[in-house]
């Protein structure tokens, strides 16, 4: 498989980046939907519309994109011998990606609570949590491009 990955590295990397962009778009948009959902009356038309939007965003875009990011990222790292745990930037970057994944699953649990009209968090909470993926993304991009340390 290594020869195929090496020969198609640019294609694999391109689709990895496309998946990252799609995943990040969802990670940034879903908490914003939750902000609006907090102000919607449970069972009302807006609430029901937001439930559909949130579910579709997670199932059709975010989760498939996250899976593609991980599959292609691990494939490139293993097959192209890019795993280097002696480089601090690589370890921190990997931890940041794990953090994004954790946020993804946390947002999934929030979506399930909204789907059951059981949200217990404020719109302020979702405004704040909306900044976490942005900070992790900034760190990841700097770590990958600059490779400090």
- Confirm if 25 and 61 have CB atoms less than 8 A apart: yes
| Crossing angle for the helix pair 131-146 and 9-39, to the nearest 10 degrees | 160
Domain count for the chain: 1
Cα-based angle 18, 23, 36 (whole degrees, multiple of 5):
140
Report the predicted TM-score, pTM, of the whole model to 2 decimal places: 0.93
| Crossing angle for the helix pair 63-79 and 88-115, to the nearest 10 degrees | 160
Q: If we measure between CA atoms, which residue out of 118, 130, 127, 121 comes closest to residue 28?
A: 130
Q: Which tens digits make up the pLDDT trace of 30-83?
A: 999 999 999 999 999 999 999 999 999 999 999 999 999 999 999 999 988 888
Per the structure, the complete domain to which residue 136 belongs is given by: 2-146
- pLDDT higher than 80, residue 1: no
């Amino acid at each position: 498989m290594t020869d195929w990955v090496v020969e198609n590295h640019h294609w694999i990397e391109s689709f990895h980046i496309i998946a990252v962009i799609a995943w990040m778009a969802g990670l940034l948009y879903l908490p914003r939907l939750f902000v609006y959902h907090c102000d919607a009356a449970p069972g009302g038309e807006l609430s029901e519309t937001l439930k559909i939007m949130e579910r579709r965003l997670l199932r059709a875009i975010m989760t498939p994109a996250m899976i593609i990011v991980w599959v292609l990222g691990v494939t490139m790292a293993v097959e192209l011998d890019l795993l280097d745990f002696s480089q601090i930037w690589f370890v921190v970057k990997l931890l940041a990606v794990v953090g994004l994944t954790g946020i993804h699953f946390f947002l999934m649990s929030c979506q399930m609570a909204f789907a059951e009209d059981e949200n217990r968090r404020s719109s302020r909470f979702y405004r704040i949590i909306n900044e976490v993926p942005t900070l992790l993304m900034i760190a990841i991009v700097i770590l990958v491009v600059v490779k400090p340390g």
